[in-house]
Amino acid sequence: MSVLSFHEVSVRYGAHTVLNGVSLEVPAGRTVGLVGESGCGKSTLARAAVGLAPVTGGHILLDGRPVPNRGRRPVQMVFQDPYSSLDPRMTVGESIAEALPERLPKKARQAEIARLLALVHLDAARAGDLPGRLSGGQRQRVALARALAARPEVILADEITSALDVSVQGAVLNLIRDMRRDLGLSMLFISHDLAVVRYVADHVAVLHDGEIVEQGPTARVLGDPRHDYTRHLLAAALPLKEQT
Amino acid sequence: MRPVGVAGLGLLGAVVFVAAFGPVLWGDQATVVDTGNLLAGPSAQHWIGTDNLGRDLFARVLVAARLSILLALAATAISLVLGIVLGAAPVLVGRRTGRFITSAVNVLVAFPGLLLVLFFAVVFGVGARGAALAVGLAGAPAFARLCHTLVAAVSERDYIAAARIAGVSRIRILLRHVLPNIAEPLVVNATMAAGGVLLTFAGLSFLGLGVQAPDYDWGKLMQDGLNGIYVHPLAALGPGIAVVLAGLAFNLTGEAFAAAPGRVRPLGPARGPSVRTAPVPGAVLSVDDLRVTMPGPVHAVRGVTFTVGEGEAVGLVGESGSGKSVTALAVAGLLEPPVRVEANHLVVAGEEDHRRLGTSLAVVFQDPMTSFNPAHRVGPQLAEVSRFHQGMSRRTAFARAVDRLRAVRIREPERRARQYPFEFSGGMRQRAMIGMGLMGNPRLIVADEPTTALDVTVQRQVLELLAEVRRETGAALLLISHDVSVVTDVCDRVLVMYAGRVVEELPAGDLRARARHPYTRALVAAVPDLETDLDRPLAVIPGLPVDPMSAPAGCAFAPRCPLADDHCRAVAPPLLAGVACHKTAEVRV
Ligand SMILES: Nc1ncnc2c1ncn2[C@@H]1O[C@H](COP(=O)(O)OP(=O)(O)O)[C@@H](O)[C@H]1O
Ligand code: SF4
Ligand SMILES: [Mg+2]
């Protein structure tokens, strides 16, 4: 179990500041929800932690040391779009095998792939399928299995259910909760859906225009929001008819 | 494949055959010296004459095919490999160095190709090898640019990022993920380029910079024949024709590959004339037994019957793949062959015509970016609708577009109308899309997942806008969504679709607490809200949606239904009193 911490992290693209001095901690074995509207920098924060976005200020530490930026990363990420997250020309098994930290003999590799597929509640027979034959929910589970294959300490889940049907979303959210319980993973769970974040996260941080405007235990932030922007988000999440 | 493609492939086959077996079949004939027939014209014995040693030129043209083709292929291969390496530079050496290489390539592409070829030919020296290198190098920038574009598109896919995070090396990413996914367009382009290279090569040899005696390719033969061009034109024209034919073979084949559509099995004709029924009076939209079949065959919609009353808001919910979008497209008349649409009737605002869009019907799609043409300004795109359907002048139509943008609460509509779609945010594009629907006077608005791609706060605004538009225009709404809460918020009545059928129809207010179909209940239970019990797992629907290629005979939901029995699996339940389930009596409300 590891702690992922962001210290005054800034990301700038040219003159455009995407993140401005963001400090956030993902404690060991905990799930931290990150909410905010699209374009506010949620994905950039996650991408910065795995070296996909340039950190122009501050630092990102894993257990007090810089996150390794080469080779297998102990921080793994799962992406939003199930249709872009798997190589259409590689089978499920090949995609997962690619993330395994060491080269295994064929038998052992197949057993490991089957184990990982079982973790995300997929049948081992799926290993031979190309992504084209999987539904969106199944693809996201394969993407999770691939992230787990790398034996990560921390998982960054970037809007992983927002492209899914509600019926499938439930299964993926349950899976996320099971994984935290059984594997003790630390997780940064990004979403714009407050109900979803409330369900999976212990802590929640609200990002607005590249800055964290509020953070704290989920129940407190959603039950007693202190920042106007948080209240605004909460209002939008209530049914239209109940509001008026 | 079109005839042109067939001709190209046939020609290419012939060219390859000659290149492969030419030297074996005609090699001897091409070297026999006929001293009695030096520099002779065409005759029965020598179809296009002989050269200065009396050797048969036709045979020599055939034999020269191998060298000509091989050199062209070699040069193309050099271009291709170099092009891939340069084009993939951003992946291989990182962004910054990559950008430098890309700019260098862009400068090189701007140079006239011939100039580059001649420059390199001089650098590498006279001869076949030098010429191949020269032509190959000169062709590389064009390939590099193509590769760069293709690679850039693939590199943005998340699986590339995932591979990087998994620690896969750059080379392996290129070989395993990037190249396989850009191979198709690359091969097509290389094939077409080979035709051009063939021509360039012939040119070099013709100029004496390429193949040297005693070897000969088509260019060399043309050069040899040039001296006698006024006496025996065929001696020079013969190899020239060979170049043209071979070049055409490559080009046409490449074009044919590029244009080949995805392979689909066409559908048979519709099953006989179906029953015609009359539309329900007073309904804006009346649909009876709608069936939509895609090539496959995929039975996307399997008999859907419903109406939308004047000014009513009806929701259509269900998982993706349940046929919601296809139903919407059929209603809008936007499905074209090979998709087959059948219905006993499908009437919008009293019309069965398929061009309802833009007048009595407006459509809003999920992805507002793809619904607009990115190359045109927003205002004129809206205006286009009225110019086309209402025959308005350019100016009146533009004025109406501005007015409609104002109606959908876009600030500074005059300025915004002159902007391009990419200058709009997602929510604004969706507003503009609704504005486009309002260019006519729609009686029905069909909105397919209009807010799914948007943020909660923007979602809210778009839904409010739709409600407002309905209040002001009295238009009816068919709102499609996989999000139960969006539909309950906005609609009066809800249709629940599963596997191409409506399984339940109920007032929106009853959806949460009084649904009777097991699927509807499961769907509602699966959505977490701000009151969901945190100590229990979320309700899920076990199993997978039905594969539309093989919808079962009985109730399509049976494999996932906790109440299913043999009767359910054998007999499809009809939609009775708003619900299609054999066991509604057992489902406690
Ligand atoms: N162009 C197409 N070719 C073949 N099948 C298609 C095509 N478009 C949609 N389908 C199939 O039609 C079914 C219904 O799709 P759709 O209406 O998009 O579902 P929904 O709107 O409920 O998400 C799905 O099984 C889908 O795979
Ligand atoms: S008909 Fe049977 S299988 Fe289908 S939903 Fe009703 S109870 Fe379930
Ligand atoms: Mg759809």
Which ipTM value was assigned to this complex?
A: 0.84
Angle between helices B3-31 and B57-87 (to 10 degrees): 120
Length of chain A, please?
244
The confidence score (pLDDT) of residue B443 equals: 83
How far apart (Å, rounded) are the C-alpha atoms in residues B333 and B327?
Answer: 10
Residue ranges of domains in chain A = 1-74+193-244
Three-state DSSP at B340 gives strand
Q: Is the minimum CB–CB distance between B272 and chain A shorter than 8 Å?
A: no
Q: In this complex, which of B464, B523, B528 lies closest to A167 when CB atoms are compared?
A: B523
β-strand pairing of A16-26 with B298-309 = unpaired
- Domains of chain B: which residue ranges? 3-28+65-259, 283-512
Residues in chain B: 589
Pocket of ligand 1, candidates B263, B265, B291, B298: which has the most ligand atoms within 8 Å of its Cβ, to mutate? Answer: B298
Angle between helices B113-124 and B179-206 (to 10 degrees): 70
Q: What is the DSSP string of A178-217?
A: HHHHHH--EEEEE-S-HHHHHHH-SEEEEEETTEEEEEEE
Residue B288 CA, ligand 1 centroid: distance in Å: 20
| Pairwise CB contact (< 8 Å): A98 & B488 | no
Which among B325, B463, B538, B560 is the top mutation candidate for probing chain A, defined by the most A β-carbons within 10 Å of its own β-carbon? B538
Q: B291 has which bridge partners?
A: B302, B342
Calculated CA dihedral for residues B231, B233, B239, B243, nearest 10 degrees: 150
- Better-scored residue on pLDDT, A237 or B575: B575
**One-letter identity of residue B474:** G
Using the 8-state DSSP alphabet, how is residue B263 labeled?
P
SS3 of residue A97 by DSSP: helix
Q: How far apart are CA B36 and CA A74, in angstroms?
A: 83
Which of A53, A57, A43 is CA-nearest to residue A10? A57
pLDDT at B271: 54
The pLDDT value recorded for residue A243 is 40
Contact A73, A31 (CB under 8 A): no
For B13, residues 6+ apart whose C-beta sits below 8 A from its C-beta are none
Bond prior to B297 in cis (omega within 30° of 0): yes
Residue B384: both structure tokens together? 């286009």
Please report residues of A whose CB lies closer than 8 A to that of B455: 37-38, 192
Confidence at residue B83, expressed as pLDDT on a 0 to 100 scale: 92
pLDDT at A36 over 90: no
Check residue A95 and give its pLDDT.
93
Token reading at B523: 């769907």
- Among A80, A81, A87, pick the best mutation site for testing chain B contact (most B Cβ within 10 A): A87
> For residues A1 and A154, is the Cβ–Cβ distance under 8 A?
no
Residues A6, A23: contact at Cβ < 8 Å?
Answer: yes
SS3 (DSSP) at B361: strand
Which residues 113-172 in chain B show a CB within 8 A of chain A? 157-159, 161-168
What percent of chain A stands above pLDDT 70?
A: 96
Mutating to test ligand 1, I would choose from B317, B322, B546 the residue with most ligand atoms within 8 A of its C-beta, which is B322
Contact A170 B528 (CB under 8 A): yes
Q: Tally Cβ neighbours within 10 Å of residue B176.
A: 18
What is the spatial distance between Cα B389 and Cα B400, in angstroms, rounded to a whole number?
13
**What is the token pair recorded at B337?**
């062959």
Which pLDDT does position B588 carry in this prediction? 55
Distance from CA of residue B562 to its chain's centroid?
A: 41
CATH topology of domain A1-74+193-244: Rossmann fold (3.40.50)
Q: Chain B 453-472, CB below 8 Å of chain A: which residues?
A: 455-460, 463-464, 467
Cis amide linkage into residue B214, ω under 30° from 0: yes
Residue B247, token pair as written in the block: 């070049």
Give contacts of A50 with chain B, Cβ < 8 Å: 161, 165
Cβ-Cβ contacts under 8 Å, B539 against chain A = 170
Q: List phi, psi (to 5°) of A19.
A: -125, 140
Contact call for B545 and A193, based on CB within 8 A: no
d(CA B351, CA B285): 9
CA distances in angstroms from B264 to B140, B296, B298, B323, listed in the order given:
36, 7, 12, 20
Pairing of strands A4-13, A57-62: antiparallel
The region of weakest confidence among A63-72, A78-87, B231-240, B556-565 is A63-72
CATH 1.10.3720.10 fits B3-28+65-259, yes or no: yes
Compute the distance between CA of residue B303 and CA of residue B293 in angstroms, rounded to an integer: 11
pLDDT (tens, 9 = 90+) of chain B, 589 residues, equals 567 778 888 999 999 999 999 888 888 888 888 877 777 778 878 878 888 788 888 889 899 999 999 999 999 999 999 999 998 888 888 778 888 888 888 888 888 888 888 888 888 888 888 889 999 999 999 999 999 888 888 888 889 888 888 888 888 889 989 998 888 888 888 988 898 898 888 888 888 888 887 888 898 888 888 877 788 888 888 889 999 999 989 888 888 777 665 444 445 555 545 677 777 777 888 888 888 888 777 788 888 888 888 888 899 988 877 888 888 888 887 777 778 888 888 888 777 665 555 567 777 776 655 667 777 788 888 887 777 777 778 888 888 888 888 877 777 888 888 888 777 777 777 778 878 777 777 888 888 877 766 666 667 777 887 887 788 788 888 988 877 878 888 888 999 998 888 999 999 888 888 888 889 888 888 888 888 888 888 888 877 777 666 777 888 888 888 888 888 888 888 888 888 888 877 655 4
Greater confidence (A244 vs B387) lies with: B387
Residue-level pLDDT at B265: 47
**Summary count for chain A: helices (H), strands (E):** 9, 10
B57 contact partners, CB below 8 Å, separation of at least 6: B46, B47, B48, B49, B50, B51, B221, B225, B234, B235, B238
Sign of CA dihedral B330, B370, B545, A190: negative
Residue A244 has pLDDT above 60, yes or no: no
Between CA B109 and CA B149 the distance in angstroms is 14
Residues A233 and B59: their CA atoms lie apart, in Å, by: 81
Atom of ligand 2 nearest to the CA of B517: 5
| Listed range (A115-124, A151-160, B191-200, B242-251) with the worst mean pLDDT | A115-124
Peptide bond into B338 cis (omega under 30): yes
Class of the domain covering B283-512: alpha beta
- How does pLDDT run across B72-93, given as a tens digit for each residue? 999 999 999 999 999 888 888 8
Comparing C-alpha atoms, which of A182, A126, B166, A75 is closest to residue A113? A126
Q: What is the mean pLDDT of chain A?
A: 86
Contact A195 B530 (CB under 8 A): yes
B560 CA to centre of ligand 2 in angstroms: 9
| Pair B405, B379: CB distance under 8 Å | yes
Closest to B158 in 3D by CA, of A71, A85, A213: A85
- Test B158 with A79 for CB contact under 8 angstroms: yes
Beta strands in A63-168 (DSSP E): 65-66, 75-78, 154-158
CA distance B187 to B7: 19
DSSP assignment string, B188-236: HHHHHHHHHHHHHHHHHHHTTSS--TTS--HHHHHHHHHTTTTT-HHHH
Strands A4-13 and B283-294: unpaired
Contacts of B233 (CB under 8 A, 6+ apart): none
C-alpha distances in angstroms, B25 versus B17, B29, B60, B221?
Answer: 11, 8, 11, 19
